[in-house]
Amino acid sequence: MKVLRSLEVWKMGSINYLNALKLQEKLVSDRKTHKIPDTLLSLQHPPTYTLGKRRTDHNLLIPEPDLQKIGAELHYTQRGGDITFHGPHQAILYPIISLRDVGLGARNYVEKLELTMIELASLYGVRARAGQTGETGVWVGERKIGAIGVRISYGITSHGLAFNIDPDLNYFKHIVPCGIANKEVTSLRKETDSVLPAEEVIHEQLISCFARVLGYSNLIWKENGSILSDSVEN
C-alpha cells in the first residue's frame, strides 16, 4: 500500500531575506523535534545578494557601499554554493523537510531540486539541463536559469532553489553568479516562445513539480500573511 505523504505549503509572497532566514531557522528546529510536518516556503525577495559559507566575496563585483544605490542588500548565509541574486519575478522554494523520511541523501536531494526546475521549464517548451562538472544549478545551453544552494542540518533541509521567471538580469552583472565566470544568466521569459501566465500560476506550477518529483501526494496549502509574524515572534 502506497504511503500518502503530506507537504505543508506556505505561500508567502514577497518577504525580506532576513525575516525568511529567521523563519527557516525556527522551522528547522521545529522539524527536528517533529513539531511540524515537511514544509515548503514559496516566496520572492526584494533585491538581495547572498553569499554561501565559503565567503567568496571576490565574486561580488560592486563595492558594498554602492549596493544601496542599486536598491540591493547583501547577506551572508550558512548554505552551500557561491554568491547569487534574489529578486522580484523569481520563484523561490525553501523546503524544510526530513531527508531521512523521504529516503534521500544530500546529492540525490540536489538532483531532485534540479529536476524540479527542469520539469517547470519543460512546461514552456524550454529544454533545461542540470549543471555539468563545475556548474551548479540548472541551465539552458550555456545560460543559467535556476540556482541551488542548500543547508542540511541533522538531516533537515533549508534554503533551496531560485528559478528566474523574469527578473531584472542587470543585477547579475554585479556578481560572478555562483562563482562561474563568463557564463550568462537567463530567464523563462527570454527562453520561451510561450505567453507566460500570471506569476502566481508559475509559482504554483513550480510547487507542483517539486511535490511530484519528491513524491508528495497530499499538499496542504496555507496563505501566509499572519504565519510569518506569528512564527518569527514565538
How far is CA 210 from each of CA 33, 100, 112, 214, 216, rounded to the nearest angstrom? 24, 17, 8, 6, 8
Which residues are catalytic, by number? 178
Q: Which of 97, 104, 189, 185 minimizes the C-alpha distance to 147?
A: 185
Q: How far apart are CA 149 and CA 210, in angstroms?
A: 16
Q: How far apart are CA 164 and CA 90, in angstroms?
A: 5
φ/ψ of residue 231, rounded to 5:
-70, -40
Q: What is the mean pLDDT of the chain?
A: 89
In 97-136 the beta strands, taken as DSSP E runs, fall at: 129-130
Set of cell numbers at residue 27: 522551522
Region 203-228: mean pLDDT is 87
Distance of CA 232 to the CA centre of its chain: 20
pTM: 0.91
Contact assessment for residue 171 and residue 87, using Cβ atoms and an 8 Å cutoff: yes
Sign of the C-alpha dihedral computed for residues 52, 54, 60 and 63 taken in this order = positive
**pLDDT for residue 78:** 74
229 falls in which pLDDT band (50, 70, 90)?
very low
Residue at grid coordinates 536598491: 71
User: Which H or E run includes 134?
Assistant: none
**pLDDT for residue 175:** 81
